[in-house]
Amino acid sequence: MQAYDHGGDIYGNPGVTLDFSVNTNPLGLPEEVRCALQSRVEEFARYPDPHCRELRGAIAAFESVPADWILCGNGAADLIYRLCYAMKPQKALVCAPTFSEYERALQQVGCQVEYHILAEANQFALTEKILMQLTPGIDMIFLCHPNNPTGSLIPLDLMERILNRAQENKTLTVIDECFLDFTDGESAKRNLRDMPGLVVLKAFTKMYSMAGLRLGYLLCSDANVINKTNAAAQCWSVSVPAQIAGVAALSLSDWQDRTRRHITEERRLLSEKLSSLGITVFPSDANFLLLRYAKPLYESLLQKGILIRKCENFKGLDKFYYRIGVKTRLDNIRLVEAVKEIING
């Protein structure tokens, strides 16, 4: 069986009492979503709406885009694979390090993958050097905004230059914004109307702590991309509970603002505390932090019941890099104290 390369593998680590390997919202599943699921539990006996009509209507209102620009899926990862199967790129460009499912999905359709290496000297930030690799022979490019595992946002002016270059080259550009709502960064969706070759990916997994329900969506103004990607799906790929939860989540008026305030404060605390212990903490705009430490933190923390994300399977990183999610104040302090004991022990 293939090794599990993502965070959240508590099933393979039954002794874990605190999971910092995941980067979902530490505030948890909103109570309003929980209540909506409980009040409509009888509907779980039905087949789901294959077109997600109610959900797409809610997303359209939330994102201020037409409903026919929206395609829902069984999480953002589902849509990544469907896009690759549907569009069948011959050559694609991805950054490194970044979310590994871009590379996997591309390779499964026989696509040649080129890598743009993000330099640690630049804090793994994306720079204009990527434009040198964005040539007419590139059929598809995946960009993570903010990037996972580094947490870096793409500067607005650079985003515009990338999108314009991709448009000139007829390169399908996929911007993964699954973590964007945790930041103050701007979405690429403002370019959708003028750039049919742009796809924006979003998910409920992170902001609404709904990883187990599996729900994501993409935005694109090109009906050809929408139709081909839709045709690559299995029937009823978005469950009834997921559709109900998504509609309820989007009705919350202050959830994102409340979450951003919490993340900003707790990320600063974690960064300052861990840096003071001699750990390299890279700048992040997101709800997680990339760390570097020259001793094995993973195994030592696991012995204390704390799971963090090893990053050695990210291209461009090695066994000395780790990612941690930002959690509640109590949990964050517990992590800091555990790390302090390990370092001073």
- 111: which DSSP letter? -
Q: What is the pLDDT of residue 1?
A: 42
> In the chain, which ranges are E strands?
18-19, 70-73, 91-96, 112-117, 140-144, 172-176, 198-203, 216-219, 280-281, 288-292, 306-307, 309-310, 321-325
- The answer on 268 and 187 residing in a single domain is no
What is the model's pTM? Answer: 0.95
Q: What is the pLDDT of residue 13?
A: 73
Question: CA distances (Å), 87 to each of 139, 149, 235, 288, 298, in order?
Answer: 9, 26, 19, 32, 39
Judge whether 47 lies within some domain: yes
Q: Pick the last residue of a domain from 250, 267, 300.
A: 250
Q: What is the pLDDT of residue 15?
A: 82
SS3 labels along 4-32: CCCCCCCCCCCCCCEECCCCCCCCCCCHH
- The answer on 204 and 152 residing in a single domain is yes
Residue 2, C-beta contacts closer than 8 angstroms, at least 6 positions apart:
none
- The answer on 289 and 162 residing in a single domain is no
- The β-bridge relationship of strands 198-203 and 172-176 is parallel
- Residues 147 and 175: their CA atoms lie apart, in Å, by 10
| Greatest distance between any 2 Cα atoms in the chain | 60
- The answer on 241 and 112 residing in a single domain is yes
Decide: 185 and 158 in contact? Cβ < 8 Å: no
Count CA within 13 A, CB hemisphere, residue 166: 26
- The answer on 200 and 105 residing in a single domain is yes
Show the domain range for 89. Answer: 31-250
Cis peptide before 66 (omega within 30 of 0): no
- The answer on 133 and 42 residing in a single domain is yes
The CATH number of residue 277's host domain is 3.90.1150.10
- The answer on 175 and 288 residing in a single domain is no
Would the CA dihedral through 252, 146, 96, 28 be positive or negative?
negative
The domain tally of the chain equals 2
- The answer on 276 and 151 residing in a single domain is no
- The answer on 218 and 83 residing in a single domain is yes
- Residues 234 and 220: their CA atoms lie apart, in Å, by 20
- The answer on 233 and 293 residing in a single domain is no
- Residues 127 and 171: their CA atoms lie apart, in Å, by 19
Convert 63-97 to b/e letters by CB count within 10 Å (16 or more is b): bebebebbbbbbbbbbbbbbbbbbbebeebbbbbb
Beta bridge mates, 216: 73, 203
- Residues 21 and 115: their CA atoms lie apart, in Å, by 25
Q: Pick the last residue of a domain from 250, 265, 286.
A: 250
Judge whether 2 lies within some domain: no
DSSP one-letter string for 227-252: HHHHHTSPTT-S-HHHHHHHHHHHT-
Residue 99's nearest CA partner among 146, 139, 60 is: 146
Judge whether 13 lies within some domain: no
- 287: which DSSP letter? S
Helix (H) or strand (E) holding 256, with range, is helix 255-275
Query: Residue 36 corresponds to which tokens in the numbers above?
Result: 């909506």
Instruction: Collect the ranges in the chain with pLDDT lower than 50.
Output: 1-4
Judge whether 70 lies within some domain: yes
Q: Pick the last residue of a domain from 230, 250, 270.
A: 250
Residue 202, C-beta contacts closer than 8 angstroms, at least 6 positions apart:
63, 76, 177, 178, 180, 216, 217, 218, 219
- The answer on 302 and 226 residing in a single domain is no
